[in-house]
Structure 1
């Protein structure tokens, strides 16, 4: 995951009272850490499993899902 998407993801995850975890190929990292997300080396099309626990777990997962669906609000290259 590049810096900008990792930053957007981590910033959104940190807004909620929930522990967000991101998994790729058995490696699990905090969804609140830009550096940890970048260590997953996820590229476009990589399958990631995102989970959350805590009072706002459902809310944060909904928001993160929407962010990913919008491709992190990054315009497509032409």
Structure 2
């Protein structure tokens, strides 16, 4: 399993537009990508609703993970997006 911790950069956290962008990107990966916030179970990152249930706000640290062939690329792609400012 490949895992990477990142800090949520968007000022609104993983809500609304940022959640939609992350979910779309995660769903496009060849492996299932999950995301977890401390104290919460991991959820499928390809679902906007799942991302919003995490209540991950600006500055929160999340753990992004995936398993299988292509997992490293998938985790890096989603993690880089979460760690960037998606508020634009």
Q: What TM-score range do you get, normalising by the shorter chain?
A: 0.7 to 0.9
Q: Which residue of 2 aligns with 1:66?
A: 80
Which segments of 5 or more consecutive residues in structure 2 lack a partner in the other structure?
1-13
- CA RMSD in angstroms comes to 1.3
Q: Which has the higher contact order (CA 8 A, sep 6+)?
A: 2
Cα distance per residue 1:28-60 (max 9 Å; x no partner): 111011001100111100111110112221111
Which segments of 5 or more consecutive residues in structure 1 lack a partner in the other structure?
none
TM-score by length of 1: 0.82
4+ residue segments displaced more than 6 Å:
none
* Larger relative helix fraction: 1
Out of 58, 68, 77, the residue aligned to residue 54 of structure 1 is 68
Q: Which residue of 2 aligns with 1:36?
A: 50
TM-score by length of 2: 0.74
Whichever of the two has the greater Rg, that structure is 1
Q: How many residue pairs get matched?
A: 74
